[in-house]
Amino acid sequence: MPSVLITGCDAGIGREFAKQYLEAGWEVLATYRSLDNVITDSKKVQNFKLDVTVASDFSDLKQKLGDKPIDLLLSNAGIGLDVAKLGALDFDYVKQMYDVNTVGPLRLVDTFADNVAASDMRRIATITSRMGSINLNLSGGHYGYRASKAGLNAMMRSLAIDLFDRGITVVSIHPGWVDTAGGGAGNAAVPVAESVASMRALISKRGNHETGQLFAYDGMPLPW
């Protein structure tokens, strides 16, 4: 039975990933910012506390999991929605976006790379955004969010290079404008179940020769 560790299962995309992998028969290690939000309708899921901005949460989870192989390490937790304009920017929130969207995923991989390397599938996937693409930025704004996702994309590219010799495939995925509280919330083009199903298929089909690439959820390569 393959295993997946998912961050940000409190709601939205992360929770849908957990549900779909459970339905597919995977062993799901679901992590939450708050354990008030745990999935309770399945006995197959293992629920853990992990706030990606808290270093001790990572060390605590590593201690609980030990050397357990993790086939897929799925970095999903993220925040955004910085719509403030120049002259009215919330710089504390900009820093928080970096902490969650950029530093958190790096700490996740740093903590569990050995577990991934010990597995059969050896996959790392991160949920990013096309708003982190410099080439695709034609509308400006969203300074903190764009920068935090661009930084995430750069880090995942480096991780793909550094982990290649260990047989680990790294992929970064834009989930589309998804119908979640952090996305379109009722007006989005892509239902969350459809986005997650497409991303799961994309992750499963990627070979090591494609490591370090950036894709949209439907498999379309995206420019940096």
Known catalytic residues are: 145, 149
Of 106, 107, 101, the residue nearest 127 (C-alpha): 101
Rounded to 10 deg, the angle between the 104-117 and 143-163 helix axes is 20
SS in 3 state form for 9-36?
A: CCCHHHHHHHHHHHHCCCEEEEEECCHH
Amino acid occupying residue 152 = L
User: H-helix or E-strand containing 173?
Assistant: strand 169-174
Sheet containing 123-127: give its strands across: 45-49, 27-32, 3-6, 72-75, 123-127, 169-174, 213-216
